[in-house]
Amino acid sequence: GGDPSHLIMKSPTQETIEVSFKGKAVHAGVEPEKGANAIYAVAKSAADFPQGRLDEDTTANLGTISGGTATNIVADKAEYKAEVRGHNLSKLEATVQLIKQKAEQAAVDTKTQVDVKQSTSFEGFWLNKDESVVKIAIEALKECGIEPAFTASGGGSDANIFNQNGIRMLTLPMGAQKAHSNEEFIDIKDFEKAAQLAVKLVEVASAGQA
């Protein structure tokens, strides 16, 4: 999202983390002391989760929590899903390991078992101004009367997938604001500007002007 004049030159890697706790189901009113509550384990782990913007390179978000079947049953299964994004891979992996450690400690504290799965959703990229794809975008912007600006993003897009497969690609915003919030909107003028820019990008690329 954002102003179409901003060329997104840098995007993070995203790691997805699925943490599943397995407890022991018993009657909650008859013999709760014989059970092990997986929801309680999730709660303890979530309370120690490194949430939000951790530094200039790294963010983490606890996205979903699920578990339990009824109030009179000590929950034997519960899980949460989270993500960590980072421009610095060392910091990113350190955060993932911290989340795993917190989950393992929560399992010990609640006498449950825990399974942590980690997967890479997409890889980050970083572009230089002298790359051909960037030169094309700069030329297209200037021909539209727009002065280009260069920025980094915390979001992911198809550009991440193209770049990790060896096809250099950048992202141009199309006017969206307050992404993923209840107040998300698109500025019509920016949207029209983005449409004009899309046409000009094709013209510049096909003419080999950059």
Q: What is the pLDDT of residues 130-148, one digit of tens each?
A: 999 999 999 999 999 999 9
Residue 193 in domain: yes
Residue 1 in domain: no
List % helix, strand, coil for the chain (3-state, nearest 5).
Answer: 35, 30, 35
111/36 same-domain check: yes
Rounded to two decimals, the pTM is 0.87
**pLDDT band at residue 3 using 50, 70 and 90 as cut-offs:** confident
| End position of a domain, from candidates 90, 122, 154 | 122
For residue 150, what is the domain's CATH number?
1.10.150
7-11, 88-92, 194-198: which has the minimum mean pLDDT?
194-198
Residue 8's SS3 state is strand
Cα separation, 148 vs 127, whole angstroms: 15
Write down the residue that tokens 């010990």 correspond to. Answer: 108
pLDDT on residue 1: 63
If one counts the domains in the chain, the total is 2
Residue 182 in domain: yes
For residue 118, what is the domain's CATH number?
3.30.70.360
| End position of a domain, from candidates 122, 145, 162 | 122
- Average pLDDT in the chain: 94
Q: What is the pLDDT of residues 28-56, one digit of tens each?
A: 999 999 999 999 999 999 999 999 999 99
Cα separation, 164 vs 13, whole angstroms: 10
Per-residue buried b or exposed e for 26-36, using 16+ beta carbons within 10 Å of the residue's own CB: beeeeeeeebb
| End position of a domain, from candidates 67, 98, 122 | 122
175/136 same-domain check: yes
74/94 same-domain check: yes
Please give the full DSSP string across 26-95, using - where no structure is assigned. Answer: -BTTT-GGG-B-HHHHHHHHHHT---EE-SSSEEEEEEEEEE-S-TTB---EEEEEEEEEESSHHHHHHH
Structural domain boundaries enclosing 170: 6-11+125-207
86/155 same-domain check: no
Q: What is the pLDDT of residues 69-116, one digit of tens each?
A: 999 999 999 999 999 999 999 999 999 999 999 999 999 999 999 999
